[in-house]
Structure 1
Amino acid sequence: MIPHDLLAWYDANARLLPWRAPPGTPPPDPYRVWLSEIMLQQTTVATVRPRFETFVTRWPTVAALAAADEVEVMAAWAGLGYYSRARNLIACACTVVTDHAGRFPDTEDGLRALPGIGSYTAAAIAAIAFGRRAVVVDGNVERVVSRLFAIDTPLPAAKPLIRAAAETITPATRAGDFAQAMMDLGTAICTPRNPKCLLCPLRTACRAHALGTPDAFPVKPRKIAKPQRYGTIFWLERDGQVLLVRRPPRGLLGGMRALPTGPWSDSPPAFADPPARANWRVLDGTVTHVFTHFRLDLALAVAHADAHEPPADGAWWPIAEIESAGLPTVFAKAARAIGRTR
């Protein structure tokens, strides 16, 4: 009953997304499904849509992406966050081309063996791109299933229970449409707050609706405050250009173009590790950015250099073209804040 009712709703209400095939039609290009799933990890559809279009225009096939300049791919990824995904994107494309003759494996096991593809992504690609029956559980599906079955175990301990419940309602046919229908239901109807239960095609089967407490599910653990860190971003300017550096290949924001920065520590580090001797001036105010595991407050230090050779991992970049540098969000925020004071 649940698959039938949900798919009937999806046939009439499916979102039009550039990586999807219309309901009931043959599966879409696996490359586009894979690319969208990697981009959508912890990132909204509204943010991903224009970036996806840019990627498939520049690199329309997995072979084209495998042959791309890594620096250009990383720059195109800027703003999507979680930059290890971009590095794995390149590694996965290369593996598909070199080890699989340019074709993605069509099973969950085969997909999981590729760089950057975990259990959820493998299930999503197998179902959506290849029509395989797979249990696909993202955050939206987690919420829908926890309400359908009134699973009152707190997260993350509830995850195996939610997956087991999802297994019982996943159909053998139209698996890709079913997975995407669950995602759309969670986005449009079964929302985190104030779910639209009267519009839900599954309300008669929903135990949380019957209890009158859909907002109580899923049961979430108590929030823990993120650790606080501090740092300084350095803006060194010369003849209408600003010094940019390449961050180390490993670690947070690895391999990305960035403004120079000192250490990120538990207390303000002041002028630790500036990129050059200069008459540094600290601006009023700071830039704040929240990463997955910590909150970062950055002081902004600016200076002019009459003559200065960039470090080996750096280059002078036209300030007027700073938006095209592909800076990660935290550095783009700093550049905009500094630009308002210039």
Structure 2
Amino acid sequence: MGSMLFLILGAQILTGVMLTMNYTADEQLAVVSVDYIMRDANYGWIIRSLHMGGASMFFALIYMHIARGVYFGAYLKNTHVWYSGLTLYLLSMGVGFLGYVLPWGVMSYWGLTVITNMMTVIPGGARALDWFQGGFVISTVTLKRVFVLHFLLPFVILGLSLAHVLLLHVNGSSNPLGLDETNFSVPFHPYYSIKDLAGFALLLAGLVGMTFTFASLTADPLQWQPINKMKTPAVIKPEWYFLYAYAILRSIPHKAGGVFTMFAAIAGIAVFPMISSNENFQSMKACPPARLMFVIWVANFMFLTVIGAQEPTGGWVLAGQFGTILHLSALVMIPMIKADWEFYLFMTAQLDEEESVVNDVKRFLGPRLLSN
């Protein structure tokens, strides 16, 4: 997963640089420049479709990468790798959102309005919001700043990704059994290089297939409509990879509480190394209860993704609140269940060993005591 993420990141940077050659960060010209890329620029539609599909695939790989790390207990191997990965995830969410704004459709404008107004829940947030917007309302100045940040931050992600890999090589990666494999290591080439090349082939085939067949699979139809600042859409929603967080944000009626809960849900995986003990088995393969909780957590993530795309009325709000509680509870319960299960296993094994020793002593001393 990590190597495929590197490949997608490189493709995103390359296609993004190509797109900037024809994009104009201006309220009046942004939509026109996007239309020019799609209709008139040589192979512009392919480059933009690769960029859009690559963003979806990038986040799909991130979520699988995180889920795999949780399942195999990667946070126990090297906490520095875990926290650098979490930082990369947060930066990637920021870059993904900024890129969603650039086409300047209906969802771009109102999504930027919703997200930037979250800054007002912190002390001094209103002043910071005015500073970021370049005024009291979202304007061309805001769009230019979004464009600059979207262009620069991927290079920050690239540099931090290299640091992430360097930290990984300090202690090595985890494994499905979660055991110390120092004495069973194999050379990177040809074993892992061949495996990565096979993954690259599958990834590129999927990306090209999405580009030429389902280029607008994840795009909202409202994103193609011109902005009307006087009319708010009935349902404001981000791209699919942010829907789970958006569902959590909407499930809390209090503004500050919703923002805090959303960030807690996004960065909640940071607590895994904090509340975990030095477990002998890092992986969940030795812990059926934790596996069950993991499956519930993943299913609930998909459930929240569906809820985030719905209109926040009636039962959807209640379902979002239930999903939010379950998501936050799972973040705490998964490492605790693993630790308790391992303690139970080792205590049971220790008691069995002590009982076996006592029985051996009785068998050895029994005849002697009777003869005496």
Give the shorter-chain TM-score range: under 0.3
Task: Please identify which structure carries the higher strand content.
Answer: 1
TM-score by length of structure 2 reads 0.20
Q: Which has the higher contact order (CA 8 A, sep 6+)?
A: 2
TM-score by length of structure 1 reads 0.21
